[in-house]
Structure 1
Amino acid sequence: MSRTLIAAYGAASYFLFLGTFLYLIGFIAGIGVPKGVDDGPLVAWPLALGVNLGLIALFGVQHSVMARPGFKRLWTRVVPPAAERSTYVLLSSVALIVLYLAWLPMPAQVWSVEASWLRGLLWTLFGLGWAVALVSTFLIDHFDLFGLRQVWHHWRGTECPSHPFFTPAFYRWVRHPLMTGFLMVFWLVPDMTVGHLVFSAGMTAYIVVGTLYEERDLIAAFGERYRRYAASVPRFIPMPGRRTGE
């Protein structure tokens, strides 16, 4: 593939990600999108549960397996190394689109907050969760995370340098603030149906398992330094007095 084609591929993958990311906000909130987590044809709950868990598993397996170093070494025999991250982003977006399209509602109510002040507070925290997730990507290099940095260096014909280990801002309080933001938006909502509960619980399980594998890779990359960091900083929930100055 030519440098220009790889750069265009990376940009297209990134903009597809932006679209799916924005749609996820509406999908969870049930606002501003043609199909939210509680929309779609009603079917028997065992079928809905099976389909929905399968969709979460599809996303989780793709998202986690393709992120592992061993898979990357094999995958870059098929795709150009500069396009590896963009391909990961592309396929993650496709997995989410499949989930949006095929998700089956389970409309039974689990909870619904009536107090207007509490509903307002929960929607505020929901929005804050999205802000935490987005800002976290920029703290560690948003453009590297989503493949643009790699294709840009490839297009220029320069080497894409690796990042050193560092812990800016939110990363001094929790090891995975991006996931903290997602946990906030999954759970801090004023209305929860069974279908929404399945989505939130399934994605939470993926986050817990996925970060275990991610931390194994980080220990392999940074060794004792990351072990010390993990020992002093919580994974998802900030704890007073537990932070690092690295």
Structure 2
Amino acid sequence: MTHPDYGYGLWGLALVNAAVFILFAFSFFKPATKRDWRSFGAFSAFIVALFAEMYGFPLTIFLLSGWLQSHFPGVDWWSHDAGHLLEMMFGWKVNPHFGPFHVASFVLIGAGFWLISAGWTTLHESQRHHKLATTGIYARVRHPQYVGFILVMLGFLLQWPTVLTLAMFPVLVVMYIRLAQHEEREALATFGEDYRGYMQRVPGFIPRLKASASPAGPIDGPSA
């Protein structure tokens, strides 16, 4: 591109940012099983696709350039700040990095990584004692790490939506739900009514506003 304010083509920066976020997630999630690696690999693909457009080539801007230019003629769509599509389209008169969508994205991303970290900490402790994880964050939701990955991806979608990541997001959400269902079938086969009772007490993905009156206690056995 010969556009004077063209803010892309920074493939080294795209690689570094993708690597930082993937390694950051890896340090919390620590995949061990094939299922873990599959879910982590899908999340990594989402991150790579995101930063490839954020710093490499703006495929979404390129595909929508005609429509964007005709509907929002006052925006320089080839500048890097214009990649914050929601901020640009809603016309917030502030730096897009301080706009409401960008701030909300940081909240979601931070909450997501906290859930991944808190989930792994509880899970690791339960594994050390050969018990099923039902305490800590697992007393509020049964699949905190999957919820964490979904929140991180949703946060990035608010911050820098792209055609590819928008297409990937529902596919990955369905994948995480199916992985959770597969894990629960295994847990039910192993723990039977004990795990069924845990499922009745604790929601899978969306925590209740009010904690259960009878919190789940630890259950002997391998972690799910």
TM-score grouping bracket, smaller chain normalisation: 0.5 to 0.7
Equivalent residue runs for 1:71-110 within 5 Å: 88=34, 92=38, 99=45, 107=60
Cα distance in 2, alignment partners of residues 186 and 215 from structure 1? 24
Kept after mapping to 2: 8 A contact 1:129/1:180: yes
Kept after mapping to 2: 8 A contact 1:234/1:242: no
Superposed displacement of residue 102, structure 1: 9.2
Cα distance in 2, alignment partners of residues 212 and 186 from structure 1? 20
Cα distance in 2, alignment partners of residues 229 and 100 from structure 1? 32
Any unmatched runs of 5+ in structure 1? 1-29, 38-84, 145-160
Cα distance in 2, alignment partners of residues 227 and 125 from structure 1? 30
The change in CA–CA distance for 1:231 and 1:242 in structure 2 (over 3 A counts) is farther
Give secondary structure in 2 for the equivalent of 1:192. coil
| Aligned residue in 2 for 1:173 | 140
Residue of 107, 112, 115 corresponding to 2:85: 112
Look at both structures and tell me which one has the larger radius of gyration over its CA atoms: 2
| Aligned residue in 1 for 2:194 | 225
Cα distance in 2, alignment partners of residues 94 and 180 from structure 1? 13
Cα distance in 2, alignment partners of residues 123 and 162 from structure 1? 35
| Aligned residue in 1 for 2:151 | 184
Kept after mapping to 1: 8 A contact 2:108/2:154: no
| Aligned residue in 2 for 1:129 | 112
Equivalent residue runs for 1:1-246 within 5 Å: 32-34=13-15, 88=34, 92=38, 99=45, 107=60, 112-114=85-87, 115=92, 116-141=99-124, 163-188=130-155, 189-241=158-210, 243=212, 244-246=214-216
Superposed displacement of residue 191, structure 1: 2.5
Kindly report the root-mean-square deviation, in angstroms, between the aligned alpha carbons of the 2 structures. 4.0
Any unmatched runs of 5+ in structure 2? 1-10, 19-30, 54-58, 65-83, 93-98, 217-224
Cα distance in 2, alignment partners of residues 204 and 178 from structure 1? 12
TM-score of the aligned structures, taking structure 2 as reference length: 0.55
Cα distance in 2, alignment partners of residues 143 and 166 from structure 1? 5
Cα distance in 2, alignment partners of residues 210 and 93 from structure 1? 8
Q: How many residues align?
A: 154
Q: Deviations over 1:30-64 (max 9, x none)?
A: 99532889xxxxxxxxxxxxxxxxxxxxxxxxxxx
TM-score of the aligned structures, taking structure 1 as reference length: 0.50
Q: Which has the higher contact order (CA 8 A, sep 6+)?
A: 1
